Amino acid sequence: MKQKVCPVCGSEEVYHSKKAGWLCLITSLLFLYPAPFLKKFYHCFDCGSDFNA
């Protein structure tokens, strides 16, 4: 599997993660049920930027 590279600084020190988007927050508040809409993103440990795959 090919290692992801940060598009900002070119570092390979990136971490794949998920975070809740606005849709999940709104549905959680309105219906008291967390929607399964999570945004997938990568975080660079060297420059601190977040980017999509």
What is the secondary structure of 1-53 as a DSSP string?
Answer: -PPP--TTT--S-EEEEEEE-HHHHHHHHHHSS--S-EEEEEEETTT--EE--
| pTM value surpassing 0.85 | no
Decide which of 4 and 28 is more confident: 4
Mind listing the pLDDT tens digit for each residue in 9-18? 999 999 877 6
Residue 31 above 80 pLDDT? Answer: no
pLDDT at 3: 76
- Band the pLDDT of 33: cuts 50, 70, 90: low
Mean pLDDT for 11-39 is: 69
